[in-house]
Amino acid sequence: MVFQAPLLLKWRRILENVLLPAEILGLPSGESRERARELLALVGLTGSEEKYPYELSGGMQQRAAIARALVHDPKLVLMDEPFGALDALTREKMNLELLRIWKESRKTIIFVTHGISEAVFLGTRVVVLTAGPARMADNFAIDLPSPRTLDLKTHERFGEYTRRVYKLLGME
């Protein structure tokens, strides 16, 4: 699981933070350490293994949290507003980064967001929930070209999908 805040342990170096789930699960340390280093490379943090969380930017810390969520090779990754605390520019960069990581890792990701355009941009399927008590208003596939770039946000179908969500939420 990846939370809104990275929730890295401040007294552990980045590599040690990424290894935490493997340690808790009792996975072999040598293999886990190698996988953690590969994942840190995947998320663009090679060279940061021995740094402490305070030495990294918010986006870098969140990428370390993503590596931590993948270290034990889960079939499913839950992401609960993982970019909600980031500034708009860093959030856009992290969206592109997440698409790259997803493409390389091929994990199933359930991504919770309040950002309508973020859901459409990142998703292959969008589930729209109403305000509490929450109920499913719709569940539909997103058929947009890949690889996705920020230019996609000007695509006509992108606008159609976002308008569909706004309408479902009574915001038309």
Q: All domains of the chain, ordered by start, with CATH?
A: 1-112 (3.40.50.300), 115-172 (no CATH)
- Please report which confidence band the pLDDT of residue 100 belongs to, taking 50, 70 and 90 as the band edges: confident
- Return d(Cα 9, Cα 21) in angstroms, integer: 12
- Please report which confidence band the pLDDT of residue 116 belongs to, taking 50, 70 and 90 as the band edges: very high
**Mean pLDDT throughout 119-148?**
93
- Return d(Cα 168, Cα 172) in angstroms, integer: 8
Indicate whether 172 pLDDT > 80.
no
Q: What is the pLDDT of residues 11-57, one digit of tens each?
A: 999 999 999 999 999 999 999 999 999 999 988 899 999 999 999 99
For residue 32, what are the contacts with CB-CB under 8 A and spacing of at least 6?
Answer: 19, 22, 23, 71, 72
**Mean pLDDT throughout 101-110?**
89
Q: Which amino acid is at 163?
A: R
- Burial of residue 2 (number of CB atoms within 10 Å: 0-12, 13-18, 19+): buried
Indicate whether 159 pLDDT > 90.
yes
Q: What is the pLDDT of residues 4-22, one digit of tens each?
A: 899 999 999 999 999 999 9
Q: What predicted TM-score, i.e. pTM, was given to this entire model?
A: 0.87
